[in-house]
Chain A
Amino acid sequence: MTIRSQLLKGILEGCILAIISKETVYGYELAMKLQQHGLDVSEGSIYPLLLRLQKEKCIEGEMRKSANGPNRKYYKLTTEGENALEQFKQNWQRLKLPVDQLLKEEG
């Protein structure tokens, strides 16, 4: 995997945790929410990440009936997921400012 896609996946994972921390969602909903926030990622890219986050026990999925019929797998955050999200927020803050500044100087 290239560094570029590693970096993007890491950031996307953090964003997924952030969305799930606010409400339980199912796959399609999650993809829509990411797009609403302007994160223009391929809709498919969330599923491998959801599987990985489940393996790392950051999120839990549960199959249940949705309001309009079919069974859907809803994801919610675990305590470990909350910690991971907190970690991501800190890392992001630490990274964001210096990178922004660096790019400003460059420009």
Chain B
Amino acid sequence: MNADSLITENNEKRKQLNNENKKIYEDMLIYIRLAYQKSEQETEEILMELLDHMLIMQEQGNDISGLVGEDPKQYADEIIDELPKSLTKKRVELLFMGLFHFFGVSMLFTGLIQSVMYYGFGRWEGTKTYYLGSGAVLSILSVGIVFAVVYFCIEYLKWTCFKNMNRILDFILSGFIFGILPFSVFLGIYYFMPEFGPSVTVPIYSLILIGILFLGVGIWLLKKGKRGRE
């Protein structure tokens, strides 16, 4: 059974847990899945084993602390420690998949919005000028920001596991850390970056085409990754 079908089965089976056990199990599930450097297949297999074990215990009226101990987080850490790492090749593929998606989507949207403004309303310009020097620096910085946001997002989610967070506080905090803050930094960099390096001027519709091409490669990598897991 591949990871995807294990996840589907897990989603169904988990509903049989009572509320108290479900809270503990789902915290462990999120926390263990967030250990992104681990083999997905092995992760899903052990999660299924733990779920099966809990369901039997619940059926027999036993307390699941017999399985996860008094400190479920510590137990989850023990499991993560022993999980095998995913292959380096897969991690590199995942990285490129992310990059192609990111650049594909941002170019596609820039191209679409500008095209609508130019061809539809006669506003803005029909071409876009890129300065290779500042363009390269901006690309690297924005990818850096995206990775930093993803990284802190994962760490933040891990931190919220096994805690009873106030939902409103959680909403404000995460909205600020992962939305407003990085977006402001990004806008700031974009605004203050001086233009340097040789310039290239391209018609805006070509951005749409390049965007679609990049996105296509990204989707292809995603599908390839999924096939590899079967």
Q: Enumerate chain A interface residues (CB-CB to B < 8 A).
A: 26-28, 31, 42-44, 47-49, 51-52, 54-55, 61, 63, 70-73
Determine chain B's interface SS by DSSP, over half rule.
helix
- Given known contacts A43-B66, A43-B67, A63-B45, A48 and B52 CB-to-CB distance under 8 angstroms: no
Tell me if B53 and A31 are in contact (CB < 8 A).
yes
- Given known contacts A27-B53, A43-B66, A47-B49, A63 and B1 CB-to-CB distance under 8 angstroms: yes
A105 to B1, CA, bound (A): 56
A50 to B82, CA, bound (A): 9
Report the stretch among B73-81, B100-108, B187-195 that lies at the interface. Answer: B73-81
Question: B155: CB under 8 A from chain A?
Answer: no
Tell me if A73 and B48 are in contact (CB < 8 A).
yes
Tell me if B53 and A51 are in contact (CB < 8 A).
no
Tell me if A28 and B1 are in contact (CB < 8 A).
no
A31 to B56, CA, bound (A): 12
Tell me if A73 and B82 are in contact (CB < 8 A).
no
The listed residue (B13, B67, B81, B84) touching A44 by CB distance below 8 A is B67
A71 to B2, CA, bound (A): 12
Tell me if B52 and A42 are in contact (CB < 8 A).
no
Collect the chain B residues with CB atoms within 8 Å of residue A63's CB. Answer: 1, 45
Collect the chain B residues with CB atoms within 8 Å of residue A70's CB. Answer: 13, 52
> A104 to chain B: closest CB distance in Å?
34
A61 to B6, CA, bound (A): 15
Question: B9: CB under 8 A from chain A?
Answer: yes
Tell me if B52 and A51 are in contact (CB < 8 A).
no
Collect the chain B residues with CB atoms within 8 Å of residue A47's CB. Answer: 46, 49-50, 79
A-B pairs with beta carbons under 8 Å apart, 11 shown: A26-B52, A28-B52, A28-B53, A28-B56, A31-B53, A42-B66, A43-B67, A55-B82, A55-B84, A71-B1, A73-B45
What per-residue 1/0 map shows which CB atoms of B31-62 lie under 8 Å from chain A? 00000000000100110111011001100000
Tell me if A44 and B82 are in contact (CB < 8 A).
no
- Given known contacts A28-B52, A47-B79, A71 and B46 CB-to-CB distance under 8 angstroms: no
Collect the chain A residues with CB atoms within 8 Å of residue B9's CB. Answer: 71
Tell me if A48 and B69 are in contact (CB < 8 A).
no
Tell me if A51 and B66 are in contact (CB < 8 A).
no
A73 to B49, CA, bound (A): 7
Collect the chain B residues with CB atoms within 8 Å of residue A51's CB. Answer: 42, 46, 79, 82-84
- Given known contacts A51-B79, A51-B82, A63-B1, A44 and B66 CB-to-CB distance under 8 angstroms: yes
Question: B68: CB under 8 A from chain A?
Answer: yes
